[in-house]
Structures are given as C-alpha cells and as structure tokens.
Amino acid sequence: AQSVTQLGSHVSVSEGALVLLRCNYSSSVPPYLFWYVQYPNQGLQLLLKYTSAATLVKGINGFEAEFKKSETSFHLTKPSAHMSDAAEYFCAVSRTGTASKLTFGTGTRLQVTL
C-alpha cells in the first residue's frame, strides 16, 4: 500500500521568502512522486514529477523538489515566493507511474503575504 503525508495544512510566507512544503511517502515499491497545484475553482496542474531519474527535479514556476530515499521525503521548495503562488498544493504517489492511480496527500494551502 502507498500513502502520502503532507505536514502542515496551512503555510504562510512573506513575498520573497523561501517556500518549503513537506511531503513524506510510504511505498512498498520504488515510487513515482508528483506535486500538483490547485488554484481556486480550477483543476489540478502538474508542477513536477520524480520518475526515478535525477533526484533533484525542477518544475514549472520556479519550483523544485528533491527525492530523498533515506528520509522517504519529496519536499517542494521555491527560493522566492510570489503572490501568484498562493494556492493549494498536493503531493501524490503512484505505483508504476503510467496508467496508475494517484494517491494524494491532504494538501497544503500556501498563503503569501506582503
């Protein structure tokens, strides 16, 4: 069975500050890991994915995440937050990557303040 834990249902940062959203996973097989972003009243958009290649993954909008097997983590970071980054972020894991259901964390709402 696979699961994802996102620590912190709400995170608030100042504009220009570092963004760190935490994700830990549990998987009995090598996982495929994803971060999605959801803006209000919209569907989910893929930010980045880990598919067993490079452990440091760069995504859209300046976000990146590092796969750390020893810590079973896949935390999402961005060096400098923008107001437009305010949204809900979901970490997800799948068993095989393609044609496989995603198991999501409960999400972290990011607030960016002036």
Question: Which residues bind to another protein, rule: CB under 8 A?
Answer: 4, 32, 34, 36, 41-46, 49, 51, 90, 92, 94, 97-107
CB of 20 to another protein, least distance (A): 19
> Nearer Cβ to another protein, position 64 or 88?
88
Give me the DSSP letters along 27-58: -SS--EEEEEEE-TTS-EEEEEEE-SS-SEEE
> Nearer Cβ to another protein, position 9 or 113?
9
CB of 29 to another protein, least distance (A): 15
> Nearer Cβ to another protein, position 39 or 80?
39
CB of 15 to another protein, least distance (A): 26
> Nearer Cβ to another protein, position 75 or 89?
89
Residue 71 structure tokens: 């810590």
Q: In the chain, what's the furthest Cα-to-Cα distance? A: 42
**Percentages helix, strand, coil for the chain, rounded to the nearest 5?**
10, 50, 40
- Alpha helices, H only, 1-114: none
CB of 16 to another protein, least distance (A): 29
**How far apart are alpha carbons 96 and 51 in whole angstroms?**
9
